[in-house]
Amino acid sequence: MSQNLAKQAAARAAIKYIEDDSIVGVGTGSTVNFFIDALAEIKGRIEGAVSSSEASTERLKSHGIPVYDLNAVDSIPVYVDGADESNRYLQLIKGGGAALTREKIVTAVAEKFVCIADPSKVVGCLGEFPLPVEVIPMARSHVARQLVKLGGDPVYREGVITDNGNIILDVYNMKIEKPIEMETAINQIVGVVTNGLFAEKGADVLLIGKEDGEVEILTK
Ligand SMILES: O=C[C@H](O)[C@H](O)[C@H](O)COP(=O)(O)O
């Protein structure tokens, strides 16, 4: 599939940002899976990884890459992760795979966030992709009502429990013209754990892979 060639090109390009003997921050998703496979080829050069999901942890371990608890790590020079959408300012929507909270935590620790994507992820205005919000289960209806007040149409993601034991509301029909303000407003709602806007701290580098193997590099 040509989209997979594009994802793989971006994932492989991220390898040159990895520092020798470092702990690598690793995100989640189909694009990151290509990155984990590429990382396995240079695993002798790194100390190990911190992972943002059980799924990525399993894949890292299957390649023999040591996975550390975030609390046992002093620094993460580079975090590599995909996105569901990116605007030209490298502000992102993430969480299509429900891993947003741990991803945001690792992003907060990392010195540099390298985002890997195929061209379909790049948009003019965030919000075409429904915005994932991780919510404490008992607050589901309350949070949904508040999200409606912010202009969105929240939909409960049936059958999904996050790695943290919570639920996801996907918010449709939001044209997010002020991502930082929206990220902050949603985080103020009691019962919200995290929302999928990575705007206050977005990516530092965006690698857009193309199906012919070329990679466009955008920086802040
Ligand atoms: O929760 C999942 C993550 O935020 C992913 O990085 C995002 O959904 C992109 O995933 P994919 O590379 O599969 O499109």
Rounded CA separation 99/82 (Å): 11
Q: Are 96 and 157 spatial neighbours (Cβ–Cβ below 8 Å)?
A: no
Q: Is the CB of 83 under 6 A from ligand 1?
A: yes
Q: pLDDT digit string (tens) for 145-189?
A: 999 999 999 999 999 999 999 999 999 999 999 999 999 999 999
SS3 label, residue 94: coil
Could you tell me whether strands 92-93 and 85-86 are parallel, antiparallel, or unpaired per DSSP bridges? antiparallel
- Measured at the alpha carbon of residue 185, what is the angle toward residues 129 and 132, in degrees to the nearest 5? 30
pLDDT at position 58 over 90: yes
Could you tell me if the CB of 86 is within 6 A of ligand 1?
Answer: no
Please tell me the pTM assigned to this model: 0.96
Tokens 């399993």 belong to residue: 58
Mean pLDDT of the chain: 97
Same domain, 135 and 47: no
CB 26 near ligand 1, within 6 Å? no
Q: Does residue 82 share a domain with residue 148?
A: no
What would the two tokens of residue 165 be? 């034991």
The count of domains in the chain is 2
* Average pLDDT for 85-90: 97
Residues 19 and 114 in one domain: yes
Q: Which atom of ligand 1 is nearest to the CA of 98?
A: 1
Residues 47 and 141 reside in one and the same domain? no
Same-domain pairing of 64 and 7? yes
Question: Which contacts of 41-44 are long-range, i.e. CB under 8 A and separated by 24 or more positions?
Answer: 41/15, 42/15, 42/18
The percentage of the chain sitting over the pLDDT mark of 90, rounded to a whole number, equals: 98
* Span 32-56, pLDDT tens digits: 999 999 999 999 999 999 999 999 9
**Residues with catalytic roles:** 103
User: Which domain covers residue 157, as residue numbers?
Assistant: 131-195
Residues 98 and 147 in one domain: no
Residues 88 and 23 reside in one and the same domain: yes
Cα–ligand 1 centroid distance for 110 (angstroms): 18
pLDDT in tens, 121-149: 999 999 999 999 999 999 999 999 999 99
53 and 113 share a domain?
yes
CATH number, domain containing residue 93? 3.40.50.1360
> Are residues 103 and 206 both part of a single domain?
yes
Asked if pLDDT for residue 96 goes beyond 90, the answer is yes
Same domain, 59 and 168: no
